[in-house]
Structure 1
């Protein structure tokens, strides 16, 4: 079974269990913490993925890092996943959990690459458009400023992309001139 498929299944089980136990928000916070800590500590990720490191040592490290900071369901999950020899997929599982959580809660992430930093009015307009077009309850806007853009922006939500950059418009115009359409 592929790593992503296994991570997705573990995440689904965790969501089901946490919903049943009225602990969904607590586990969401734990998964945010887990993802952030593993992402910021490549040494921890290397230990979790290393098959030579004994399972007891991995469990001890995870307990010392997260032990008192996480819900008991998360603690039990960490022990289970390490005992099954699947600690390598903890990062992927936390990402899958957060992705599935966002779907349940109607949260959509919009990635905006712009030539300049967005204003509050720009953010509000993008949020309103994404809420309307995607039926989202909440929109998380991830911004990036790119000096490769002359002006405008590129909006990406899921697998859909809207390119309102000046360079894109110029490229279209260039192609039209080359084809003799204009």
Structure 2
């Protein structure tokens, strides 16, 4: 079974439990912080993925890091994951939880790629237009890539709008090649 499938199943279980206990938003917020901590620390990731390190040691490390700082539901969930030998995919499970949460709440992630960082005003305006167009709450992320040259590339879910200068130049090049110029 793939890591994605396993992570998704555990994430759905945690999501259902958090919903039942009325702690869905709190669990999501804590998991986002936990993802950031784990991603920022390669040593912790290495320990969690190392099959030689005992479950007790992994559990004690996670408790030392997050007990009292994260929702008790998450701490209990971590204990279950470690006992089942799934500490190695903890980040994958947490990320799958956030994806599932967004789906349940009708939140769509979008990315706008631009040559320079967009102003807060431009981002807010674009976010509002996307939300109005798709009828859902939108989390907009701005990524900077100088190769865009100008304009932007917008990705919302599995759709992409390329309004960049680089994209237009590529289309123009393809046209000239197809015409034998």
Q: What is the match of residue 130 of structure 1?
A: 130
Measure, in 2, the Cα distance between the counterparts of 1:73 and 1:9. 17
Determine if contact 1:106/1:135 at 8 Å carries over to the other structure.
no
Partner SS state of residue 147, structure 2? coil
| Post-superposition CA distance 1:122-151 (Å, at most 9, x none) | 2133213321333212x2221112111221
- 1:105-144 aligned at under 5 Å gives the runs 105-137=105-137, 139-144=138-143
- Aligned pairs for 1:56-75 (under 5 A) are 56-75=56-75
1:79 maps to what in 2? 79
Which 4+ runs in 1 deviate beyond 3 A?
none
The residue that corresponds to 1:146 in the other structure is: 145
CA distance in 2, matches of 1:180, 1:2: 46
Structure 2, unpaired ranges of 5+: none
Residue correspondence of structure 1 range 39-54 to structure 2 within 5 A: 39-54=39-54
TM-score, length basis structure 1: 0.93
Long gaps (5+) in structure 1: none
Q: Distance in 1 between matches of 2:179 and 2:25?
A: 58
Matching residue of 2:9? 9
Is contact 1:49-1:87 (8 Å) kept? Answer: yes
Q: State the Cα RMSD in Å.
A: 1.7
Deviation at 1:181, TM superposition (A): 9.7
SS in 2 for 1:163: strand
Give the deviation of 1:121 after TM superposition. 4.0
Q: Name 1:163's counterpart in structure 2.
A: 162
Residue 21 of structure 1 deviates from its aligned partner by 0.5
